[in-house]
Amino acid sequence: MLNQRLQQKLLQKLSPQQILLMKLLQIPSVAMEQRIKQEIEENPALEEVSESDSSLDDDVQSSTDDESQDDYDESSDNSDDEFDLSDYLEDDDMPTYKMSTGGSSSDDNRKDYSFTTGITFHEFLKDQLGMRNLTEKQQKIAETIIGNLDDSGYLNRDIRAMTDDLAFSQNINVSVEEILDVLYIIQEFDPPGVGARNLKECLLLQLRRKEDQSMPIENATYILEHHFIEFTKKHYEKILKRAKIDENQLKDAIGEILKLNPKPGNSLSETSRTNHYIIPDFVITNNDGGLELTLNSRSIPELRVNRTYMDMMEAYAENKSDKKNKDAFMFIKQKIDSAKWFMDAIKQRQHTLLLTMGAIMDFQEAYFLTGDETKLKPMILKDIAEIVNLDISTISRVANSKYVQTPFGTFLLKSFFSESMQTDQGEEVSTREIKKILEECVNNENKKKPYTDEQLTTMLKEKGYHIARRTVAKYREQLNIPVARLRKELT
């Protein structure tokens, strides 16, 4: 049965300005410049202030930054008020800085980061094809093989499947033997080990390319050919017994194997990829025992509302009775509003970042003064959210992809957040402190007889940290520490 009725609901809905702010908060400084350029391209009412026009008074600019929070709130509260043209047009006494925003002053030095690119791994291999006397058929087979190599230099495509690929895509009938003949030619290319179908073949290709076939290299070749499984599992006793060599010979052979490159393609592919530099969002300095926090805003250019659009809106406002003029007026008004919202969101972003990082710095003051990870206090998102009176989701956006530069290195902000555990004395300690002690225990162990997870659990309990063996295993995996058997070394 269909019926009509009235219903009242109370809903919370984010405004477009708040949504914009949330998106900008989770963008790190290194990507903020690109986001601003994108906004400038999409909104012609927003423009970047050139160096010749950026003669702003630093004192006046700083006072504007202090009022950014109030300006942002007022802009959202008055969104439904009656439109007043005077709110958009500058008076003769209104300075330019009130219609602009920026993350740096004219005195700041901008750093340019240079990026280098080189020949790609696959192009390097194709260039070497020209040095071989190949038939047209072999050339196409070789190009297919190179195209199927992954970034590490391995051929993961099955040879029989490649015969079908050549038949269907290039109408070339080839046998498995013909593909293998070309593959063996490619395996002679640089870097050594390229074109291997597995790790064992990759290492053997490199050993066979050695000019000095000494006894350690011969033993290494024999171990890989006949005892590869035992080698990967570090069953050294079995190798000594079956290969009939002594411990010193085994040690020298393993030393030769460890010199090899298990991923030969990466030596060239890394140079062709974009270099990723970690640009910190915050900088903490120790000034005679006092911590100072600064926000890295050099990647944020100075912005302002385009004066031409302001003049156009004033002209169209004089004759809004015409439909075309009215449509043009509403379009310009929308673009100017969007530009102001974006500038206000940038100011609010800077304010929120500084507020949140300041609370984290004060909370972990002992660590930032000394750099001792054991002095890190247990800290979760809720702790910082209660200090700065912001939502947990806001703190999460700030901490997720931001870096802070300290006197002891540059760290991801979320790495300072950790849960707590209680010691024998009832003291709450950070799980990161336990991981640090666990890592020290592994570093100081006898590599000939590494500690098992059970032994590590006992050692931590003796230090006052009562945790289960499965928790030790979890922390060990998070620290990328292999099991005891794989940590075993010949000393």
For CA atoms 222, 225, 226, 229, the dihedral sign is positive
Do 68 and 348 touch, CB atoms closer than 8 A?
Answer: yes
Rg of the chain (C-alpha set): 32
pLDDT for 45 equals 83
pLDDT for 118 equals 59
pLDDT for 355 equals 92
Q: How would you label 285-314 residue by residue, b for 16+ Cβ within 10 Å and e otherwise?
A: eeeeeebebebbbebbbbbbbbeebbebbe
- The tens-digit pLDDT sequence of the chain (491 residues) is 678 888 888 877 767 777 887 888 888 877 888 888 888 888 888 888 776 555 544 443 444 444 444 444 444 444 444 455 555 554 444 455 444 555 555 444 444 444 445 578 888 888 888 888 889 899 999 999 998 998 888 998 899 998 888 888 888 898 989 999 999 999 999 889 999 999 999 999 999 988 777 898 998 999 999 999 988 888 888 888 888 888 888 888 888 998 899 888 876 654 444 455 778 889 999 888 888 998 887 767 788 888 888 888 777 777 666 777 778 888 888 888 888 888 888 888 889 999 999 999 999 998 899 888 878 888 888 889 999 998 888 888 888 888 899 988 888 888 888 777 777 666 677 787 888 889 889 888 888 888 888 989 888 888 888 888 898 888 888 888 988 888 887 76
Distance CA 422, CA 430 (A): 9
pLDDT for 100 equals 53
pLDDT for 61 equals 44
Residue type, 225: E
Torsion of CA 122, 125, 126, 131, to 10 degrees: 170
Give the chain's domains with CATH numbers: 16-103+281-388 (no CATH), 121-270 (no CATH), 421-487 (1.10.10.60)
Do 88 and 317 touch, CB atoms closer than 8 A?
Answer: no
pLDDT for 84 equals 56
Tokens of residue 413, six digits: 């902000």
